[in-house]
Amino acid sequence: MRLDKFICESTSHSRVSAKKALHRGDVTCNGEVVKNSGFKVTDEHEIRLEGELLTIIGPRFIMLNKPVDTICSTIDEEYPSVIGLLDVIRPEDLHIAGRLDADTTGLVLITTDGKWSHKITSPKKECGKRYLLETADPLSEDLVGQFTTGLQLNNEDGLTKPAVLELLGTHQARLTITEGKYHQVKRMLAAVGNKVTKLHRESVGAIELDAELELGEWRYLTDAEIKSVK
């Protein structure tokens, strides 16, 4: 890999600023100053920028406990983007694997790996997402069967795929769905004449939201969590 590209892949430097750093003599290879941007970096080379050892950032996999009044977008719009909660190098390389509404809290997965995120978001993969929800009106036992059979959503052709509804109280339940239709959970409850008043995502596939993460906090996924997305 070219030295200027290696610097860009290891830092927040652009190609232009990387070349300026090289020209200033800020970059060393195995202790020797290198100013040639086309210098070929190999595994045997120790590259330092202003004395700091550089390594390729590589793919990143992050879980975030999303707070309310933030959006799952890469840019700020009506509300600030969840990307702004991350203290990372080159946040512009990240994208969000599945979205939550501004008023919904809980697990958001963020990555640089498009193929990995596709396995989460593609309807064909049927990756389960589990939500904890509260409703305006009481929930009845007969809803469990209705959600298993599938519901007719407004402006949709056909029924939703079978979903698992677990009643936790008169106004609280857990719901697991394998689709990702627009505002799906809220629309499913609306289809049975109810309204979601609070919504929190607990898991995506086998990845559970870390109980130690407060709202707005994040961490990198473990290798086991990354590999759980088949």
Q: ∠ at Cα 138 (135, 140), nearest 5°?
A: 115
What is the rounded distance in angstroms from the CA atom of residue 172 to the CA atom of residue 63? 25
The pairing of strands 207-208 and 164-167 is unpaired
DSSP character string of 82-144? GGGG---S-GGG-EESS---TT-EEEEEEES-HHHHHHHH-GGG---EEEEEEESS---THHH
101 classed as catalytic: yes
Dihedral angle computed from the Cα positions of residues 17, 24, 30 and 4, in that order, rounded to the nearest 10 degrees:
20
Among 4, 26, 76, 101, which one carries the catalytic annotation?
101
CA atoms within 13 A on the CB side of 63: 23
The Cα 6–Cα 19 span in angstroms is 11
Residues annotated catalytic, as ranges: 101
